[in-house]
Amino acid sequence: MNVTADQPYGPDSLATDVPHPSQPLPLTQALQLPRIVIEDTQPVIEGGQLAAKAIIEQPVTVTSKVFADGHDKMAVRICYRAADEQQWHKAPMRDLGNDSWIGEFTPTSVSRYVFRLEAWIDQFASYRYELEKKYAAGVDIGLELEEGRLHLVHASERSQHELRGQIDSVLQRLGQNTEHEPQVALLLSSETATIMSHADNHAFLSRSFEYPLDVERERAQFASWYELFPRSITDDKSRHGTFNDVHSRLPMIRDMGFDVLYFPPIHPIGRAHRKGPNNSLTAGPDDPGSPYAIGSAEGGHDAIHPQLGTREDFRNLVAAAAEHGLEIALDFAIQCSQDHLWLKEHPGWFSWRPDGTIRYAENPPKKYQDIVNVDFYAPDAIPSLWLELRDVVLGWVEEGVKIFRVDNPHTKPLPFWQWMIADVRAQHPDVMFLAEAFTKPAMMARLGKVGYSQSYTYFTWRNTKAELAEYFTQLNQTPWRDCYRPNFFVNTPDINPHFLHDSGRAGFLIRAALATMGSGLWGMYSGFELCESAPVPGKEEYLDSEKYEIRPRDFTQPGNIIAEIAQLNRIRRQNPALQTHLGLRIYNAWNDNILYFGKRTADGSNFVLVAVSLDPHNVQEASFELPLWEMGLPDDAATLGEDLMTGHSWTWYGKTQFMRIDPSYQPFGIWRIRTTNP
Amino acid sequence: MNVTADQPYGPDSLATDVPHPSQPLPLTQALQLPRIVIEDTQPVIEGGQLAAKAIIEQPVTVTSKVFADGHDKMAVRICYRAADEQQWHKAPMRDLGNDSWIGEFTPTSVSRYVFRLEAWIDQFASYRYELEKKYAAGVDIGLELEEGRLHLVHASERSQHELRGQIDSVLQRLGQNTEHEPQVALLLSSETATIMSHADNHAFLSRSFEYPLDVERERAQFASWYELFPRSITDDKSRHGTFNDVHSRLPMIRDMGFDVLYFPPIHPIGRAHRKGPNNSLTAGPDDPGSPYAIGSAEGGHDAIHPQLGTREDFRNLVAAAAEHGLEIALDFAIQCSQDHLWLKEHPGWFSWRPDGTIRYAENPPKKYQDIVNVDFYAPDAIPSLWLELRDVVLGWVEEGVKIFRVDNPHTKPLPFWQWMIADVRAQHPDVMFLAEAFTKPAMMARLGKVGYSQSYTYFTWRNTKAELAEYFTQLNQTPWRDCYRPNFFVNTPDINPHFLHDSGRAGFLIRAALATMGSGLWGMYSGFELCESAPVPGKEEYLDSEKYEIRPRDFTQPGNIIAEIAQLNRIRRQNPALQTHLGLRIYNAWNDNILYFGKRTADGSNFVLVAVSLDPHNVQEASFELPLWEMGLPDDAATLGEDLMTGHSWTWYGKTQFMRIDPSYQPFGIWRIRTTNP
């Protein structure tokens, strides 16, 4: 393996013309260099090696620094197209000052897109600017008028058909006047400007790279995930729940407002080294084992655990879920129990030790013998393992599954993900992958860059106001905003957050409010709505973890937060500003226990304010600021407020307001703010 | 002109293998992708298209994010070489945590360099880490010892000669033991680690791009410029000063501590449209004209204004200056008077109007008829104008001039500078260019990126504590720190700063202290040392500007600040921390009129603290903090202080100290701080 890590995508033609960086540029090549600089274009990931993220029918904002020597006027535009289109679409960019340009375009298909910038010197605009200035200053402009005429003559010469006729008509009108004033008016008219822009010869045209963009369906950015173990959908711990049992849960999950229903692995579970309750090393004969120990004589990653039902049952469940507006997400955990058939059929995919035993994961003195990992770069694994894993995914896509939650992707090679995700999405552009990586920031971001649509986050461990404000803000900044869509899980079968151990019901509401309002993507593992929190003492793990045993639940038990979750999800559906983690800003509330932020759509039409007390035990009060400045309002303006949990509405007067949050009632406030103008 | 603006330098081989960004990667190519990510390497300018800056014999610090899937140990190194070297030199990088790596290397010639990073999985280090952990945990390690033996066997098989012998010797010693403990000790020994690192097969080797680096001589970063008009070195306004007159000034300029002596253009001055005193439109017969109106029947950019002397006189002056430790810098102003011979010889280099007159600069209603500009992209100018301009520079290089101050480079094409500077430096690596651009930040930075060694700055307009703190800090951050060396001019013939108009002598000392301490590069236009400040009323221009008339001066007049300037320059020479703008940090002084900062060498051996009162009229006082934390000292530590202006020394006790600055005595303090340990 001996390759270059940061080779960017290049345009087709020029790469070989460029001398080695140790050599000075020959004059012949310097003369071909673009006169106009296009720098710091965004959204661009790794110089264009990897794709930035976008959503169908949502505008992509493109910014860049574009400048050249001198004082000429410039024109800049975005050219963009879907991968299967030949023609470029075009969108203008506008000058923000200080050489910054901005523009936007809206992709209309779920597909790989590319865009590039084009900039040129707009010679007629430069001329118009100068003419206007000189005319206003009262200097003689006889010569300038003749120059204007020549601009038109040359434009006519290089134009054809209708356009040429239009230019000639302007020229004719120009010739009919001898007075300066009407000539100036004609040359400065917007009509002439438009005609001349069509005839522009794009002097000193400079092009950026072509930058890739992955355009996905809306659910990549806005979705509410509900996680359950199908085997626990039973009223009796001794009876293994089935896919057919899950049907009974669908209405309630849908009523809570979820749209993705995610199952941990549904494949046959190994017998060898099976774990017992609470991760004990020895399982009893009736212990169901961890579904993450995938594979037995009954099949592997492409098979269904017999106790859950048949393939037909699974298909029926997928269809029934769809009828309830729920999309099934499956777990893709590339690991095997020692009973997995691959160990016999493809021993070369695994790593073996000198004594002929298989290498399993260890964290001394702990051993994880129930699970072994494949070796992606073993000689026998290339390319058969890569293809087999891709085909496992495609097999489930054939069954109607379009969303995969991937277990520990950061322990599998990045080139595998980069290839596999693109390959699957080339055939099925609506397929999405959620990265379950809890590791260092660089890898978290990189998984998004190589193609993951969504990612698990550090949200679960961000508890204080400072931590949350910093994290929410960071996710709105480069590079994160362009490559990483955070799915805020409030809990998982692996994470029973410390904060919830003794927070009581208010704590669950706090975390639910933060997750649902903080990102367009959030997730919940069943039991959260019942405020389950019994930990393995001192650990962030659930006692009697469902990973190792069947856990029937009474979803009607008192003290649950089902109604609140339903209302939070309803608010999300009704307010576009809440359907993404972007557009979030932290505002001032003078209390370190109250996180106060706003979410606002780019056009400003939907603006939601969220205040969450981080203290589940005590009443908290704060003065806070309504962000009137963002609405273009003065500090003493009146605004309309609406409590989105209760529907109450009122008028706010002025910028500074007061809030009181009682966690025994509701530890947060969610308010829509509007101008009083209709 | 139809080219790509951001085409980076690529390695020789791979560019054509990469598919278009709109297409997914085929598996065959995915399998060749590097497993290890090398991201965000610095110093890198524009993805490696352009060179970062370095100084000979000064370490270049390289940082990067390097990571891969899983938990294997990695090794990362820098490979670097000068352009004319075939072999790569190597320098190790070390892990700072969170996937950040750092390393350094020291270039040893003034030349273009290239560097790249290499990263691989260090399989034996990974093995050692695991063995150590398991042995400490007390688990059975019989199998691990056998694996260690096999690591050595394979290393031996792929090695030769002495190295193979060393590995075999370790294997032999390993075989002599049956006890685990001595085997573990041998496998974990640093001796075995070193041997095995030499035999390492660099598994999953990943290489970054090759990034260019321009290594320059020390004066590119540390120099004190003195600007004068040779024609003013006369005791009588009616007698034109000459190169021979300048000899008399050399000792005094050198005694003030300057090392670059810079002259505005020394070429024949046009007669047509010559400007009179104070930029008046009509000149009298004896008015000398602006030296920036270059060219007359007597010659152009390669000629010497006859009234200044002969070519022989110029050579003598260059030699005499060198004897005084002064290097002559010339002005390179690409503009012509209307008498320049180029207008007749190369009319195609200029832009002509429909009536046959030449286009000159205008800012309506102002006209600048004394100066016309060339058109770099006129058909007749390619490539003859580009070559002629390069040859003008080379002609002066032949006369011993190695430093050029370039007038208004931002109004000439960037590709010209990129080519010309590299072309000249390929033949004469010690030639340097200073960009006199006062324009928007993107262009300021870009001029550095395309090859300018030094740049004029916004320093002259940064007056408040907040402005100065922000500007000094920004220049220490990316991208500025890697591409832009700021030359802090306290004044120029064009800039008579508002601040100095009524600041009195103290104001001149304030700006001198800020410039000399703030950057390794500073500059002064003559008259500053005499506290000259008479402006054109209401403007930042000098009254009776020397650009249009001869201005004899009495350099011994009372109230001058010559002694202080000499001492400031002396302090700079004695303290390496002051020989660059880098390594500057703002510290706390609780007074908004006192800017307080430190300059520290990378090794910490030289640490200078600077406090400048920005108020030239009143006494200012402040509590301030000694940055003990940067010296690894507790808050109550004692440190040695030395006043570098007076030589006084003392002991400071603790972190918080008090200062009192009286501008009537000296509006700043400069102190070296040291630990009390010898």
Q: Is A432 left (phi over 0), alpha (psi -120 to 50) or beta?
A: beta
Which of A214, A436, A529, A532 is catalytic? The answer is: A436
A348 min Cα distance to partner chain B (Å) = 17
SS (H, E, C) A481-500: HHHCCEEEECCECCECCHHH
Among B187, B215, B243, the domain-final residue is B215
Structural domain contains residue A8: no
Instruction: Identify the closest residue of chain A to B23 by CA–CA distance.
Output: A83
Q: Residue B525 annotated as binding? A: no
A5 min Cα distance to partner chain B (Å) = 5
Residues B330, B402 within the same domain: yes
Across the interface, whether the CB atoms of A9 and B20 are under 8 A apart is answered yes
Q: Which of A2, A3, A417 to mutate: most B Cβ within 10 Å?
A: A3
Token pair 């060179």 is found at B51
Instruction: Identify the closest residue of chain A to B6 by CA–CA distance.
Output: A208
Across the interface, whether the CB atoms of B423 and A24 are under 8 A apart is answered yes
Which residues of chain B does A141 touch, with a Cβ-Cβ cutoff of 8 Å?
none
d(CA A496, CA A662): 25
Running DSSP on this structure, what letter comes out for residue B276? Answer: B
Instruction: Identify the closest residue of chain B to A112 by CA–CA distance.
Output: B22
What is the number of residues in chain B? 678
**Which residues 6+ apart lie within 8 Å of B288 measured at CB?**
B231, B240, B269, B307, B548, B549, B550
Contact B487, B405 (CB under 8 A): no
Tokens of B412: 């000439």
Tokens of B192: 């075995």
Across the interface, whether the CB atoms of A18 and B9 are under 8 A apart is answered yes
pLDDT at B443 over 80: yes
d(CA B585, CA B590): 16
User: Which of A25, A98, A411 lies nearest to residue B70, judging by beta carbons?
Assistant: A411
Across the interface, whether the CB atoms of A6 and B46 are under 8 A apart is answered no
User: Which of A18, A353, A442 lies nearest to residue B147, judging by beta carbons?
Assistant: A353
**Which residues 6+ apart lie within 8 Å of A151 measured at CB?**
A123, A124, A127, A196
CATH number, domain at B162?
Answer: 1.20.58
pLDDT at B12 over 90: no
Long-range contacts of B151-158 (CB under 8 A, 24+ apart): B151/B123, B151/B124, B151/B127, B151/B196, B152/B196, B155/B124, B155/B196, B155/B199, B155/B200, B155/B201, B156/B199, B158/B199, B158/B201
Contact A408, A437 (CB under 8 A): yes
Token pair 């060498």 is found at B601
Structural domain contains residue B558: yes
| Backbone Cα Rg of chain A | 30
Residues A573, A591 within the same domain: no
d(CA B571, CA B587): 21
Across the interface, whether the CB atoms of A354 and B150 are under 8 A apart is answered yes
A561 min Cα distance to partner chain B (Å) = 38
Across the interface, whether the CB atoms of A35 and B415 are under 8 A apart is answered yes
Query: How big, in percent rounded to 5, are the helix, strand and coil portions of chain A?
Result: 35, 25, 40
Which residues of chain B does A377 touch, with a Cβ-Cβ cutoff of 8 Å?
35, 204
Among B521, B549, B578, the domain-final residue is B578
Running DSSP on this structure, what letter comes out for residue A359? Answer: P
Q: pLDDT digits over A111-157, tens only?
A: 999 999 999 999 999 999 999 999 999 988 999 999 999 999 999 99
pLDDT for B2 equals 36
Across the interface, whether the CB atoms of A21 and B211 are under 8 A apart is answered yes
Which of B407, B482, B532, B615 is catalytic? The answer is: B407
User: Which of A10, A31, A39 lies nearest to residue B442, judging by beta carbons?
Assistant: A39
What is the number of residues in chain A? 678
A407 is an active site residue: yes
Q: Is the dihedral of CA A518, A523, A529, A531 positive or negative?
A: negative
B1 min Cα distance to partner chain A (Å) = 5
Which of B619, B27, B524, B66 is CA-nearest to residue B253?
A: B524
Structural domain contains residue A340: no
pLDDT at B18 over 70: no
Instruction: Identify the closest residue of chain B to A205 by CA–CA distance.
Output: B2
Residue A545 CA: distances (Å) to CA of A175, A494, A527, B143: 88, 8, 11, 33
Across the interface, whether the CB atoms of B353 and A446 are under 8 A apart is answered no
d(CA A284, CA B654): 67
Across the interface, whether the CB atoms of B24 and A112 are under 8 A apart is answered yes
**Which residues 6+ apart lie within 8 Å of B53 measured at CB?**
B43, B213, B214, B216, B220, B448, B453, B482, B483, B485
Strands (E), A555-662: 584-586, 594-600, 607-613, 620-625, 638-643, 649-653, 656-661
Structural domain contains residue A362: no
Quick one: which H or E segment has residue A580?
Answer: none
- To 5 degrees, how large is the angle CA A139–CA A120–CA B356? 40
How many Cβ atoms sit within 10 Å of the Cβ of residue B100? 17
More confident residue, B222 or B361: B222
Among B215, B249, B268, the domain-final residue is B215
Looking only at the bridges linking them, the beta strands covering B366-372 and B454-455 are unpaired
Q: Which of A6, A37, A428 to mutate: most B Cβ within 10 Å?
A: A6
Residues A471, A548 within the same domain: yes
Residues A185, A256 within the same domain: no
SS3 label, residue A554: coil
B323 is an active site residue: no
Q: pLDDT digits over B292-318, tens only?
A: 999 999 999 999 999 999 999 999 999
Residues B505, B589 within the same domain: no
Q: In b/e form, how buried is each residue of B303-337, taking b as 16+ CB within 10 angstroms? A: bbbeebbeeebbeebbebbeebebbbbbbbbbbbb
CATH number, domain at B652?
Answer: 2.60.40.1180
Across the interface, whether the CB atoms of A21 and B36 are under 8 A apart is answered no
Residues A425, A440 within the same domain: yes
Which residues of chain A does B418 touch, with a Cβ-Cβ cutoff of 8 Å?
25, 30, 33
- To 5 degrees, how large is the angle CA A491–CA A497–CA A500? 100
| Backbone Cα Rg of chain B | 31
Structural domain contains residue A365: no
Which residues of chain B does A437 touch, with a Cβ-Cβ cutoff of 8 Å?
none
How many Cβ atoms sit within 10 Å of the Cβ of residue B357? 11
B604 min Cα distance to partner chain A (Å) = 31
CATH number, domain at B107?
Answer: 2.60.40.10
The range of the structural domain enclosing residue A417 comes to 217-334+386-578
Which residues of chain B does A205 touch, with a Cβ-Cβ cutoff of 8 Å?
1-2
Across the interface, whether the CB atoms of B38 and A204 are under 8 A apart is answered no
Residues A61, A130 within the same domain: no
d(CA A607, CA A604): 6
Structural domain contains residue B284: yes
Which of A76, A14, A102 is CA-nearest to residue B49?
A: A14
Across the interface, whether the CB atoms of B5 and A36 are under 8 A apart is answered yes
User: Which of A69, A362, A365 lies nearest to residue B411, judging by beta carbons?
Assistant: A69
A340 min Cα distance to partner chain B (Å) = 22
B591 min Cα distance to partner chain A (Å) = 27
The domain total for chain A is 4
A494 min Cα distance to partner chain B (Å) = 19
Across the interface, whether the CB atoms of A14 and B36 are under 8 A apart is answered no
CATH number, domain at B455?
Answer: 3.20.20.80
Which of A210, A259, A331, A407 is catalytic? The answer is: A407
Structural domain contains residue B17: no
Running DSSP on this structure, what letter comes out for residue B166? Answer: H
Which residues of chain B does A23 touch, with a Cβ-Cβ cutoff of 8 Å?
83, 112
Across the interface, whether the CB atoms of A209 and B39 are under 8 A apart is answered no
Residue B300 CA: distances (Å) to CA of A130, A444, B186, B303, B344: 30, 61, 77, 5, 12
Quick one: which H or E segment has residue B156?
Answer: helix B142-157
d(CA A602, CA B572): 52
**Cross-strand bridge partners of residue B294:** B269
Which of B46, B72, B214, B436 is catalytic? The answer is: B436
Structural domain contains residue A366: no
Across the interface, whether the CB atoms of B1 and A25 are under 8 A apart is answered no
Residues A394, A530 within the same domain: yes
Which residues of chain B does A37 touch, with a Cβ-Cβ cutoff of 8 Å?
5, 414, 442, 446
Give the DSSP letter string of B204-248: EEEEPPPEEEEEE-GGGTSEEEEE--GGG-SSSTTS---HHHHGG
Residues B96, B148 within the same domain: no
User: Which of B21, B143, B204 lies nearest to residue A1, judging by beta carbons?
Assistant: B204
Is the ipTM reported for this complex over the cut 0.85? yes
Residues A328, A431 within the same domain: yes
Which residues of chain B does A204 touch, with a Cβ-Cβ cutoff of 8 Å?
1, 377
pLDDT for B7 equals 40
Q: Residue B408 annotated as binding? A: yes
User: Which of A33, A46, A112 lies nearest to residue B22, judging by beta carbons?
Assistant: A112
User: Which of B6, B112, B205 lies nearest to residue A38, judging by beta carbons?
Assistant: B6
pLDDT for B1 equals 32
Q: pLDDT digits over B460-503, tens only?
A: 999 999 999 999 999 999 999 999 999 999 999 999 999 999 99
**Which residues 6+ apart lie within 8 Å of B182 measured at CB?**
none
Which residues of chain A register pLDDT less than 70?
A: 1-19, 678
d(CA B531, CA B533): 6
d(CA B167, CA B150): 11
Q: How many beta-carbon pairs under 8 angstroms link A with B?
A: 314
Q: Which of B4, B135, B184, B207 to mutate: most A Cβ within 10 Å?
A: B4
d(CA A31, CA A42): 27
Residues A588, A537 within the same domain: no
User: What is the separation of C-alpha B99 from the centre of its chain, rounded to a whole number of angstroms?
Assistant: 29
Running DSSP on this structure, what letter comes out for residue A97? Answer: E
Helix axes B123-137, B190-198, angle to 10 degrees: 160
Contact B412, B334 (CB under 8 A): yes
d(CA A98, CA A104): 19
Which residues of chain B does A38 touch, with a Cβ-Cβ cutoff of 8 Å?
5-6
Residues B397, B264 within the same domain: yes
SS (H, E, C) B574-638: HCHHHCCCCCEEECCECCCCEEEEEEECCCCCCEEEEEEECCCCCCEEEEEECCHHHHCCCCCCE
Residue B377 CA: distances (Å) to CA of A32, A74, A376: 11, 17, 55
pLDDT for A524 equals 98
Contact A119, A38 (CB under 8 A): yes
User: What is the separation of C-alpha A438 from the centre of its chain, rounded to a whole number of angstroms?
Assistant: 17
pLDDT for A5 equals 44
pLDDT at B6 over 50: no
Phi, psi of B343 (to 5 degrees): -60, -35
Quick one: which H or E segment has residue B450?
Answer: none
Q: pLDDT digits over B280-297, tens only?
A: 998 999 999 999 999 999
Contact B407, A61 (CB under 8 A): no
